[in-house]
Structures are given as C-alpha cells and as structure tokens.
Amino acid sequence: DTGVSQDPRHKITKRGQNVTFRCDPISEHNRLYWYRQTLGQGPEFLTYFQNEAQLEKSRLLSDRFSAERPKGSFSTLEIQRTEQGDSAMYLCASSLARGGRAPGEQYFGPGTRLTVT
C-alpha cells in the first residue's frame, strides 16, 4: 500500500454513460498525475496538477475527459459519453516536488479498471 487510494477499483458502464473516478493522494504531496494504461502498454500521461492548478494536459486527451483537484487534495477524473475505446486502467500517482523541479518519485494508486460495454 503506497498511501494513494483510488475509488472505485472497478467500474463497468454502458457506452454513452458518464463516469467519475476519485483519487486520494498522499496528504503532503503537492503533485498529482493521472495516467491511462491498457494491456501490454506503459502508462500514458493524461494530466497533472500542482496543488489545485491543472498545469499540463495531454494533447491526445479528448474533450470528453476532465479532471479537477478543487482544494489541492483529492482529485476526480470524469469521462463523459464513454466509448468502448475508453476501457483501460486509470492510474493516479502523487509526488512531492518543490518549485519547477522535475517530478520526484511518483507513488501510484491501485488504479480504477474501467470496462465500457
């Protein structure tokens, strides 16, 4: 257990429905990352927060994806109008880094496995 939790662990939804995932990072960590991972692939960067500010977002990310970190603590990732291609493991990671320095050690949560039918 890394101290990063994600909820739910599994989600099955029908195509066209909206889903929301939650990530609770390690409390003192100021950076939070969302990744998507499909079978046999490495995690794919989606977006990143420093405290409550969303500072980077993948150019490949559809407008159907949105993320928030309202108080600089937990974060939510919402997918609207889900498609079968959205089926994947959604991973959250947190780290503690100062200033503009590169991300430090990232601690990953267990992930939320999304299946779109």
Partner 1 sequence: GQQVMQIPQYQHVQEGEDFTTYCNSSTTLSNIQWYKQRPGGHPVFLIQLVKSGEVKKQKRLTFQFGEAKKNSSLHITATQTTDVGTYFCAGILRGYQKVTFGTGTKLQVIP
Binding site for partner 1 (CB under 8 A): 2, 31, 33, 35, 40-45, 48, 50, 55-56, 58-59, 91, 93, 100, 102-111
DSSP class per residue in 5-71: EEE-SEEEE-TT--EEEEEE--TT--EEEEEEE-TTS--EEEEEEETTEEEEE-TT--TTEEEE-TT
Select 79 or 109, whichever has its Cβ closest to partner 1: 109
- φ/ψ (deg, to 5) at 32: -140, 135
Min. distance of Cβ 88 from partner 1 in angstroms? 13
Q: Which is nearer to partner 1, 56 or 83 (CB)?
A: 56
| Smallest distance, partner 1 to C-beta of residue 76, A | 19
Give min distance, CB of 16 to partner 1, in A: 29
